[in-house]
């Protein structure tokens, strides 16, 4: 089964990378293999998930899907190769601020942290091959119901089992079903491989983005922090949807950063940011909140960039988002029952919650506590560590990143504000929900927050050359 | 590099070192093989029952422990255990939809091994799988 599972991952990643290669705006910026591979793998996971969903709507979860998907990959690869050959002549060089080489000790530390994190991930998966509670009562249960259901796969969305959240979007579950279709049967290695791809794919993308946009040393330091955030690895191995949605948030942020630098020459990065935002919505319901916050972030950046550019970005973003809106709408209208959180809301009760100042205070207190202690590994919390790090290294923001940093900071702040409002106005058992969900919501934003921070903080290479 | 920036990098390295040490400890104490965990063991208990169920449809569920107790804490604990066993049964028996009800024709009984459960009224044991697991059918 393992070779077939590996093939499932390779097909998805290769399809994503070649598709991205096909649409890469070579006239604006040269193709970068590290960044293109990391971004393409994430897009490939999304494309595979949507393809399987559409396939299931037409034919159910049948064994022919891997053959058809692999055939499509071959077509895409031929087009991608032809385009790459053409672009090799036309591409201008990539403009980055890479300078000098990272110190050897940083490379060693990065290697050690990655090895230790992979070993821990494997250990956690051996300890809990079915993941944590929400994994087997929700994500893997839905995957099983679809895979085992055959022609009756849509019974997986029965409203008779509302506790399993049958309205949740299908990214993770469909990728698990896909892995089993490739393997020819159920194996818990399938969900483990999906979880590992999302977890270490996030690290790879953060590193590749910072390597391309800042420096190698910066990429290693940021990866060290992410790999050393205990909850990131532990939760990644629990097979929940939070790390996957965090990856698509990060993809959107990276595409917006590329758009910030090269947006005057091409609209394609804005389109890709829209697509990534749509894929986040296809992963978890929190992705729905992400859409208006990104739009607001782009609008806020308009004060600095001027409205014509904002209009351009918004149109591109909307074009990328639209296909995923249609896919998500078809799922919500055809298969998904009503969301349990919304279904249990009553106007009187909600108004009572809104008017209750204790809920605001409790939520605020928990937000402050959880943010301050996030990533605590015994040595200290990641929040305080990074605060000290920024004070030590200093800030050096590139002028052409100003647009993006405004957008990114606005989006992150609005996401936190959005979660705050949802807790205050919708949570039935507020203390319990804050306790069980807040760290997961922070984790979704963590890789993107690290990207923002390491895009503006001085790199180790710059610090070394300052003396 | 100034001493301040050196200190900043050292902090990150120490943070990473602390986590790496914890990861290595965690990996070293992991079981050699997967499958000895609670969920896998619980699932194996349902293997035979799963083959006796229809390929899809709705099946009822009754089981231990009753969600009761002398104190609220005990009631919470038994409720949680009852719910967890129901969830695990649903996870093991997918794709049938398992509902906590005796309305369907077939009902899964998931009791403590060795206990003598009282069957729901109007039902008879269709098959006893041992270990507290029975399939009940409504009497004609």
Q: Looking at this predicted complex, what is its ipTM?
A: 0.93
Q: Say if A97 falls within a structural domain.
A: no
Write down the number of H helices and E strands in chain B: 3, 5
Nearest CB among A117, A149, A164 relative to B56 is that of A149
User: What backbone phi and psi angles, to 5 degrees, belong to B125?
Assistant: -75, 120
Domain that holds residue A265: 2-87+109-465
Query: In chain B, which residues have their Cβ closer than 8 Å to the Cβ of A225?
Result: 12, 15-16
On whether the CB atoms of residues A336 and A167 are closer than 8 A, the answer is yes
- Count structural domains, chain A: 1
CA B37 to CA B30: how far, in whole Å? 11
Tokens of A341: 């959180």
pTM, 2 dp: 0.95
Is A119 part of any domain?
yes
Give me A184's structure tokens: 């020819």
- Domain boundaries, given as residue ranges, for chain B: 1-30, 38-138
Chain A hits for B37, CB-CB cut-off 8 Å, are: 127-130
Say whether B15 and A388 touch across the interface (CB within 8 A): no
| Cβ count near B72 (within 10 Å) | 8
A103 in a structural domain: no
Q: Does residue A188 lie in a domain region? A: yes
* Yes or no, beta carbons of A392 and B4 under 8 Å apart: yes
CB contact under 8 A, B27 and A123: yes
Restricting to B residues 20-79, those with a Cβ less than 8 Å away from any Cβ of A are 20-24, 26-35, 37, 39-40, 43, 55-56, 58
For each of chain A's 467 residues, which pLDDT tens digit applies? 789 999 999 999 999 999 999 999 988 888 999 999 999 999 999 999 999 999 999 999 999 999 999 999 999 888 877 877 766 555 665 555 555 666 789 999 999 999 999 999 999 999 999 999 999 999 999 999 999 999 999 999 999 999 999 999 999 999 999 999 999 999 999 999 999 999 999 999 999 999 999 999 999 999 999 999 999 999 999 999 999 999 999 999 999 999 999 988 899 999 999 999 999 999 999 999 999 999 999 998 877 778 888 999 999 999 999 999 999 999 999 999 877 666 666 788 888 888 899 999 999 999 999 999 999 999 999 999 999 999 999 998 777 888 899 999 999 999 999 999 999 998 788 999 999 999 999 999 999 999 999 999 999 988 887 65
Within-domain flag for A94:
no
Within a domain: residue A96?
no
The nearest alpha carbon in chain B to A395 belongs to: B5
Q: Which of A228, A239, A391 to mutate to test the interface with B (most CBs of B within 10 A)?
A: A228
CB contact under 8 A, B15 and A225: yes
Question: Least CB-CB distance to B30: which of A127, A379, A458?
Answer: A127
CA distances from A34 to A29, A37, A76, A161, A206 (A): 14, 5, 20, 43, 11
H-helix or E-strand containing A260?
helix A242-262
Q: How confident is the model at residue B125 (pLDDT cuts 50, 70, 90)?
A: very high
Strand order in the sheet with B133-138: B97-99, B58-63, B106-110, B133-138, B123-130
Q: The tokens 């483990």 sit on which residue? A: A192
What dihedral angle (degrees, nearest 10) is formed by the CA atoms of A206, A328, A316, A414?
A: -60
């Amino acid at each position: 089964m393992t070779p077939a599972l590996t093939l499932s991952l390779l097909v998805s990643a290769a399809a994503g990378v070649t598709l991205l290669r096909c649409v890469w705006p070579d006239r604006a910026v040269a193709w970068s293999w590290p960044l293109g591979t990391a971004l393409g793998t994430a897009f490939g996971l999304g494309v595979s998930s949507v393809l399987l969903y559409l396939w299931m709507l037409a034919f159910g979860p049948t064994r022919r899907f891997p053959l058809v998907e692999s055939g499509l990959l071959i077509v895409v690869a031929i087009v991608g190769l032809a385009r790459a050959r053409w672009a090799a002549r036309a591409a201008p060089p990539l403009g980055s601020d890479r300078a000098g080489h990272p110190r050897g000790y940083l490379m060693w530390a990065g290697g050690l942290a990655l090895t230790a994190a992979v070993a821990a991930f494997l250990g956690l998966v051996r300890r809990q091959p079915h993941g944590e509670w929400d994994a087997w009562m929700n994500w893997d249960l839905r995957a099983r119901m679809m895979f085992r259901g055959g022609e009756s796969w849509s019974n997986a969305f029965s409203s008779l089992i509302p506790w399993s959240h049958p309205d949740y979007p299908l990214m993770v579950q469909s990728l698990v079903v896909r892995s089993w279709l490739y393997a020819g049967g159920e194996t818990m290695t399938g969900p483990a491989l999906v979880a590992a791809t999302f977890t270490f794919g996030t690290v790879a993308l953060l590193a590749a983005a910072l390597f391309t946009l800042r420096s190698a040393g910066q990429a290693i330091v940021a990866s060290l922090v992410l790999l050393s955030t205990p909850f990131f690895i532990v939760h990644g191995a629990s097979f929940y949807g939070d790390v996957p949605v965090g990856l698509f948030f990060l993809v959107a942020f990276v595409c917006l950063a590329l758009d910030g630098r090269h947006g005057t020459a091409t609209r394609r990065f804005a389109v890709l940011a829209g697509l990534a935002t749509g894929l986040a919505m296809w992963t978890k319901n929190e992705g729905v909140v992400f859409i208006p916050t990104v739009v607001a972030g782009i609008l806020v950046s308009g004060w600095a960039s001027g409205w014509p550019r904002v209009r351009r970005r918004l149109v591109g973003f909307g074009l990328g988002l639209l296909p995923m809106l249609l896919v998500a709408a078809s799922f919500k209208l055809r298969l998904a029952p009503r969301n349990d959180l919304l279904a249990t809301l009553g106007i009187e009760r909600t108004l009572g919650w809104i008017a209750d100042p204790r809920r605001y205070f409790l939520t605020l207190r928990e937000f402050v506590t959880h943010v301050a202690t996030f990533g605590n590994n015994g040595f200290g919390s990641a929040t305080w560590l990074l605060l000290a790090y920024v004070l030590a290294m200093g800030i050096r923001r590139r002028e052409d990143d100003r647009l993006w940093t405004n957008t990114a900071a606005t989006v992150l702040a609005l996401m936190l504000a959005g979660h705050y409002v949802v807790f205050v106005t919708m949570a039935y058992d507020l203390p319990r929900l804050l306790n069980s969900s807040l760290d997961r919501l922070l984790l979704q934003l963590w890789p993107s927050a690290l990207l923002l921070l390491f895009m503006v903080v001085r790199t180790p290479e710059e610090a070394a050359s300052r003396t | 590099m100034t001493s301040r920036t050196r200190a900043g990098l050292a902090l990150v390295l120490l943070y990473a070192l602390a986590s790496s040490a914890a990861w290595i400890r965690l990996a070293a104490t992991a079981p050699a093989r997967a499958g000895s965990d609670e969920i896998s063991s619980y699932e194996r208990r349902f293997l035979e029952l799963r083959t006796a169920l229809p390929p899809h449809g709705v099946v009822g569920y009754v089981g231990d422990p009753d969600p009761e107790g002398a104190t609220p804490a005990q009631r919470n604990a038994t409720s949680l255990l009852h719910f967890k066993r129901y969830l695990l049964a649903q996870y093991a028996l997918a794709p049938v939809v398992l509902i906590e009800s005796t309305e369907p024709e077939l009902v899964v009984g998931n009791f403590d091994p060795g206990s003598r459960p009282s069957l729901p009224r109007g039902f008879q044991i269709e098959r006893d799988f041992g270990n507290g697991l029975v399939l009940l059918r409504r009497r004609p």
